A = this chain, B = another copy of it.
């Protein structure tokens, strides 16, 4: 890591990677900043700046080498090997996540699921047996997982996430719509569905047009 990479750039890298992989599947070897930006609704200058920050991946007068970029981005994002994740909370959302095919496609697999409800513990969803949340520490140690997904409701969210952290989980994807506190060395990212709806509501109300 030479310089600090801006967060917006970082967030765009995943989009670049996904597009480039599809592009590569079509057998294309070279892409221009214009092609890449157009497909993602960005400016070509922005793509060039982003890729420039990461290093020099292009050839002037030619474009960017697709396999080279794909390879770099996979490495850079830490996606070169399959990652295992645990899931806590096997209600509706949890079940949906267990069956969600998108994770596996992007090399994340939920290898272990937990709940506190005795009626669900022991059942199997999509090949994953649901275990008692009390056993989380053991299981996380055994499986050597550092990724955790929280699909528990608001009221138990902080408690559940404390347990994850205590078990050794270092990166958490949280679906509970509440501010969660984690130690400095744990990274958490929250997906908040109602906030997104409220964002839409604002724009509907104020009659603006904005893309994204």
Contacts and interface: CB of A to CB of B under 8 A. Distances in A.
Nearest to A4: B208
A193 B194 contact: no
Interface centre among A39, A40, A100, A184 (most CB of B within 10 A): A100
Nearest to A189: B196
A210 B187 contact: yes
Nearest to A210: B187
Kindly report how many copies of this chain are found in the complex they form together: 2
A158 B40 CA distance: 14
Interface in A158-212: 170-173, 177, 179, 182, 184-191, 193-206, 208-212
A209 B184 contact: yes
A106 interface: yes
Contacts of A193: 97, 100, 102-103, 173, 191
A10 interface: yes
A72 interface: no
Given A108-B194, A187-B203, 18 more contacts: A40-B179, A83-B197, A92-B99, A97-B193, A102-B194, A103-B197, A146-B204, A170-B204, A171-B200, A171-B204, A173-B193, A184-B209, A187-B200, A187-B208, A189-B196, A190-B212, A191-B191, A191-B193
Interface stretch (A23-31, A44-52, A74-82, A113-121): A74-82
Contact of A202 (B76, B95, B173): B76
Contacts of A76: 202, 205
9 contacts: A14-B199, A78-B204, A78-B205, A85-B197, A147-B200, A171-B201, A187-B200, A187-B208, A188-B211
Interface residues of A, number: 69
Interface in A16-40: 17-19, 39-40
